[in-house]
Structure 1
Amino acid sequence: MRTYESGAALASEIAKRGGLFIREFAEVPDEGWDQLVDGVDRTPRQMIAYQLGWMELLLGWEREEQAGATVVTPAPGFKWNQLSGLYESFYQTWETNAVDDLINRFEVLLDEVVQLVNGLTEAELFESGQRAWASSTPSAWPVWKWIHINTVAPFTTFRTKIRKWKKLSGCC
C-alpha cells in the first residue's frame, strides 16, 4: 500500500485521483449509465455510487465520533463480511438520480474528504488509536489508511474500470 509523507500529500493525492476518476465519466452517453458490459463488473452509475457510498461512510464515521456517538462500521446492519450487500445499498441509493447529481455529489464529497484530511493533525492521521472507528477492526489501522483505501485506491482502480467500460462499450 502506498504511504504518504504528510497529510498535505494525502490530501493532494485524493484531490488528484478523484479529479482524474470523475473526469472519465464526461464521455459516457446518457443511455450508457446503467449498461453492463462483458469484462467490467459494474455500470458507470454503480462505479460512482460505490465511491459516493464509501466517502459518505468515511465522513459519517468521523462526524459521528466527533459528536460522541458510537460508530458502527462498516454501516448499521452490515458486517465486514457482508460488503456485497452494502454495495447493493449504495447502488440503490443512487439508481434514480440524474447523472449531474451524481457528479456534483461526488465533487462535494471529494472536497469534504480533502477538508477532513487537512483538518486533522499529523498524529491523528498517522498514529494508530486516534479514532475508535479506525480501530474497529483487528487491523487497527491509522486514519490515513482508512482514508486511502476508501478514496485514492478505489479512484485509481475504478478509473481503470471506467476506461475499460468505455472501450468495450464502443461509446468513446
Structure 2
Amino acid sequence: MAVPASKADLLAAISTTFGKLMFDLARVPQELARDPSLEGHVSGTVMSPADLVAYLLGWNELVLKWLERDDRGEPVDFPETGFQWNQLGALAQKFYADHRSLDWPELLARLSATNAQLASTVSSRPDDELYGRPWYGKWTKGRMIQFNTSSPYANARGRIRRWLKEQR
C-alpha cells in the first residue's frame, strides 16, 4: 500500500490494515492469547498475542493523546513523557503492563474502540492540517499518525499470521 498523502488515503490505510489485522486476531484461540510464544519487540524477548495487541493499543492511545494536547495548544512530549525515541523497547514493556489486566476479548474491544476514535478524529481534520505542514521535525501530522497506526497494524498482522501458522 502506498504511503498516504491525504486524509482520504490515511483513512483508507487505517481502515484496510485494521480490518485485515482484526480478521487475523479473531483467529487467535483465547486460551493462547497470553502465551508468550511470539517474538518480542525487544531483540531476544518474547511476548504474547495479548502483548502485541496491548502494544498497538498503547500506541493508538498515545497518538490520541498527542492530538488532544496539540488541539489544546499544549506541547506534545514525543514519544511519551519519560521516554525518548531510543527507548521504544521500554515503552513497549510499559504498554504490555498497562493492559495486562484486560482479558483477550476486552483487549480486542478496546483496540477497536480506540481505532474508531482515531478514525473519527482524523475524519474531523482538514487535509491541510494533516499534510500541509510539518508537525514533528520534518513529519506531517498525517505521517505521524500513519507511522503509529496503519504501519504497525500491517507489521502486527504479519507477526500474528506467522504465529498462527506455527500453532498448527
Q: TM-score surpassing 0.5?
A: yes
Partner of 2:98: 93
Match of 1:14 in 2: 14
Name the counterpart of 1:150: 148
1:49/1:102 contact within 8 Å kept: yes
**Equivalent-residue separation in structure 1 for 2:117 and 2:31 (angstroms):** 30
Deviations 1:118-147, CA, capped at 9 Å, x for gaps: 111111111223xxxx32xxx420111111
User: 1:91-116: per-residue Cα shift (whole Å, max 9, x none)?
Assistant: 00111201111111111111111112
**Alignment match of 1:71 (pick from 65, 76, 82):** 76
Amino acid of the residue matched to residue 117 of structure 2?
A: E
Candidates 128, 149, 165, aligned match of 1:167: 165
| Contact kept in structure 2, 1:14 and 1:151, CA below 8 Å | yes
How far apart are residue 8 of structure 1 and its match?
A: 1.4
**Structure 1: tracts of 5 or more residues without a match:** none
Deviation at 1:37?
A: 2.6
TM-score computed with the length of structure 2 as normaliser: 0.89
Which residue of structure 1 lines up, in the alignment, with residue 26 of structure 2? 26
CA–CA separation in structure 2 for the residues paired with 1:57 and 1:5: 22
Of 128, 134, 158, 2:133 maps to 128
TM-score normalised by length of structure 1: 0.87
> Relative to structure 1, is the Cα distance of residues 169 and 80 closer, same or farther in structure 2, using a 3 angstrom cutoff?
same
SS at match of 1:125: helix
Match of 1:141 among 121, 139, 148: 139
- State the distance in 1 between where 2:8 and 2:155 align: 22
Identical columns (%) = 29
Moved more, 1-10 or 154-163: 1-10
Equivalent residue for 2:43? none
Which portions of structure 1, spanning 4 or more consecutive aligned residues, are displaced by more than 3 angstroms?
A: none
Secondary structure of 2:34 counterpart:
coil
- Please say if residues 4 and 143 of structure 2, whose CA atoms lie closer than 8 Å, have aligned partners that are also in contact: no
Structure with the larger strand share: 2
Rounded to whole Å, the distance in 2 between the matches of 1:53 and 1:37 is 20
Post-superposition Cα deviations, 1:24-60, rounded to whole Å, max 9, x if no partner, equal 122222221121336x333201111111011100010
Q: Separation in 2 of the partners of 1:99 and 1:37?
A: 16
Over aligned residue pairs, what C-alpha RMSD do you find? Answer: 1.7
- TM-superposed CA distance for 1:3, in Å, is 2.5
Q: Is the 8 A contact 2:54 2:107 kept in 1?
A: yes
Cα separation, 1, equivalents of 2:17 and 2:95: 21
